[in-house]
Structure 1
């Protein structure tokens, strides 16, 4: 479990932004035959997302803490339906380890969430990767029940595509 999850207030303590461990979607963990630095390079090269990422086909951001991340996502909820614009904000940035962004709680859309992409070095030329989406607050469990299955599919597809891209770059390198 990520450190922020351990330290977060529960939904009972904070019904707006509280954490419920039952409202988290997690991708499969993939073993990548490339250094964490190469995986990090792929994750932070936002202009090239459309070349490899099956879920997030456009991402624009400076990746500074608090900066917006403007994304265009493939709508996995409708089996390849129209694309969906998405705007989140960078909330975690630890080079070669963690890239996170979150959707805030808004009066007109009270569904906050946080996505963490985690890289763990396992050797000089290998690492693992997984991604989580924590649906926060009192509405989080309902969002998880609706969106969790298709978000997991999207995150699993992304993890596999990231693995392929990083391994390709490393082999060419």
Structure 2
């Protein structure tokens, strides 16, 4: 994975390590391939994901991913449409999308979902959201806490789904 430019290199898209939300790291008693299959089965997100209840994409690099998110900022408030673009796709290891820096909405971000195999029948999962550029720290301070809750809830739901499928319950 290519390192993002620093803020000194790029004030619009630069990376600030203080502006990153990181989910809890979850150990999953299922192979990485099972977790990957669930993460890439976008039509079924509404069956298990408490944060992203709809996702549509070809998952090709650069392709849009259209999502419907539950608004965790308002304690389960209305849903929110979200459009980002696939920027990382490494089977059984990494699924990423990003929001570009736009003149009318200068709040770029990148989400990485990481799967680490820990054995033939187990893996570890976590998710990050890096808020990029000069505005990133402000977005992080506002949204970081509720995004962490959403990512933690999603990680636990992913664990339950994967273990249910791997154990024969799915």
TM-score normalised to structure 1 length:
0.96
Matched, 1:33 2:26: no
Aligned partner of 2:94 in structure 1 is 98
How much is the aligned-residue C-alpha RMSD, in angstroms?
A: 0.8
Matched, 1:146 2:147: no
| Deviation of 1:8 (Å) | 2.1
| Deviation of 1:55 (Å) | 0.1
Aligned partner of 2:57 in structure 1 is 61
Given the alignment, which residue of 77, 96, 104 partners 1:108?
104
For residues 75 and 47 of structure 2, the distance between their equivalents in structure 1, rounded to whole angstroms, comes to 20
| Deviation of 1:10 (Å) | 1.0
Matched, 1:127 2:123: yes
Aligned partner of 2:72 in structure 1 is 76
Matched, 1:50 2:39: no
Q: Which has the higher helix share?
A: 1
Given the alignment, which residue of 113, 124, 139 partners 1:117?
113
Query: What is the aligned length?
Result: 169
For residues 13 and 44 of structure 1, the distance between their equivalents in structure 2, rounded to whole angstroms, comes to 33
Runs of 4+ that moved beyond 3 A: none
Matched, 1:15 2:14: no
String of CA shifts for 1:69-97, please: whole Å, max 9, x gaps: 00000000010110000000000000000
Matched, 1:87 2:83: yes
Structure 1: where are the runs of 5+ without partners? Answer: none
